[in-house]
Amino acid sequence: AQSVTQLGSHVSVSEGALVLLRCNYSSSVPPYLFWYVQYPNQGLQLLLKYTSAATLVKGINGFEAEFKKSETSFHLTKPSAHMSDAAEYFCAVSNVNGGSQGNLIFGKGTKLSVKP
């Protein structure tokens, strides 16, 4: 069975500092991996996705993530945090059929706070 573990339910950074949100996955087959962001009282917005092409994936709003098979990780980073990045972030893995056909399995989320 596939699963996702997000380390740290709450991360706080200063504006301009590096953002690092951790995600480890478990999958018996090559996974499709996603990062979504959720702002208060809103749905989920896709930040980026890994679908077995380049291991370094660039997304929207300056975020990127690197797929590391040896570490079963897909950590999300942003070089310089902005106040508008404050939100909850979810890592997700799709089932063997892929991102559009299969269901997504989500981690519990990491709430990012950005201090001025």
**Contact positions vs another protein (CB under 8 A):** 4, 32, 34, 36, 41-46, 49, 51, 90, 92, 94, 97-109
Q: Are 11 and 89 a contacting pair, CB within 8 Å? A: no
Buried b (16+ CB within 10 A) or exposed e, 65-82: bebeeeeebbbbebeebe
CB of 6 to another protein, least distance (A): 8
Q: Are 55 and 68 a contacting pair, CB within 8 Å? A: yes
- Residues written for the chain: 116
CB of 95 to another protein, least distance (A): 8
Residue with smaller CB distance to another protein, 66 or 106: 106
Distance of alpha carbon 114 from alpha carbon 83, whole angstroms: 6
CB of 86 to another protein, least distance (A): 17
Residue with smaller CB distance to another protein, 17 or 72: 72
Residue with smaller CB distance to another protein, 76 or 99: 99
CB of 44 to another protein, least distance (A): 4
Q: Nearest Cα to 8, choosing from 88, 116, 97, 82?
A: 88
Q: Which two tokens stand for residue 23?
A: 């995600």
Residue with smaller CB distance to another protein, 32 or 74: 32
